[in-house]
Amino acid sequence: MRKYLGNTGWIGAILTGVALVIFAVWHYAGTASTGTVSAEVLAQGRQVYVDQCASCHGADLEGQPDWKSPLPSGRLPAPPHDATGHTWHHSDDVLFRIVKEGTAAIVGGGYESDMPGFGGVLSDAEIQAVLAYIKNTWPQREAEYQQEISSR
């Protein structure tokens, strides 16, 4: 009988561990590009966008005019974050790093950009929220493509 109870303890521990793994996977999936995002996170992301991004990228994520043509400085204007831009061509990791570290830090090779890193201004959670807000505006085709490259 004692041996049986001992095994029950191990079985319980294993089941608890499995439950924790399932919860962790479920939680991560809810925050990754393939999951749904809470209205609270989207509202936070929208506010961060308004406060930190809209002055360059536009109130409606439309970017600066003629964003594909270099400015007199040689740098490119701020691109749109809606479906007409290229934001959705990048994985979650690349987008996060661009916002946190700045475009020049990610591109490297002496590339110059007016996009600063916001790592000293925004928390990781705020960066994730603003990216969730932006991604939530994309049509299905762009969102699915971005999810696909983020899962690679």
- Domain extent, residue 27, equals 1-31
pTM of the model: 0.76
Give the length of the chain. Answer: 152
- The CA–CA distances, whole Å, from 10 to 16, 57, 152 equal 10, 55, 36
Task: List the CATH number of the domain containing 85.
Answer: 1.10.760.10
Do 86 and 60 belong together in one domain? yes
Do 125 and 63 belong together in one domain? yes
Report phi then psi at 115, rounded to 5. -85, 105
Predicted local confidence at residue 8, as pLDDT? 53
Instruction: Give the tens place of pLDDT for each residue, 85-114.
Output: 999 999 999 999 999 999 999 999 999 999
Do 12 and 49 belong together in one domain? no
How many Å apart are CA 140 and CA 146, to the nearest integer? 10
Do 19 and 81 belong together in one domain? no
Do 63 and 8 belong together in one domain? no
Task: Report the mean per-residue pLDDT for the chain.
Answer: 85
Do 54 and 113 belong together in one domain? yes
